[in-house]
Structure 1
Amino acid sequence: MGNNKLIGIVLLVVGLILLYFGWQSSQSVGDQVVETFTGRFTDSTMWFLIVGAAAAVAGIFMAVLKK
């Protein structure tokens, strides 16, 4: 297994973990109240979701698609 593939798998796992934490954070009572009044999630929740999605996509690209 090459280094790029290993780094890709690690990025994918880290991205999925961050997405999970972002989803959990978005389901909290505090975040639901903020979303009700402002129409959007808190900044920390958005960062979890954005960075998690970017890491997961980069991980998939490195582990599966890049040769």
Structure 2
Amino acid sequence: MTKAISFALLVGGIVLLYFGGQAFNSVSSDVARVFTGSPSNKAIMLIVAGVIATLAGVTGIALSGRKR
């Protein structure tokens, strides 16, 4: 993975985490929590995708810096 792709994954992951946090604290998520006991699926998916993309970006940056 090149550094540019890794950096894009890192930034994209951070953006997804931000929007996941916003969705987690939204009114619709609060309503879903009242009836189901868990936040909305959108909030969960955004947070999971953000974590995966962030980890992939950090891993790619760390591995691209190593000499072969």
- For the criterion TM > 0.5, the same-fold answer is yes
**Residue matched to 2:27:** 29
SS at match of 1:41: coil
Q: Give the TM-score normalised by structure 1.
A: 0.86
Which runs of at least 4 in structure 1 moved beyond 2 Å after TM superposition? Answer: none
Residue ranges of structure 2 left out of the alignment (5+ in a row): none
Across the aligned residues of Structure 1 and Structure 2, the Cα RMSD in angstroms comes to: 1.2
Give percent identity, aligned residues only.
Answer: 34
Q: Give the TM-score normalised by structure 2.
A: 0.85
**Residue matched to 1:10:** 8
Residue ranges of structure 1 left out of the alignment (5+ in a row): none
Matched residues, number: 64
Report the CA distance between 1:62 and its aligned residue.
0.5
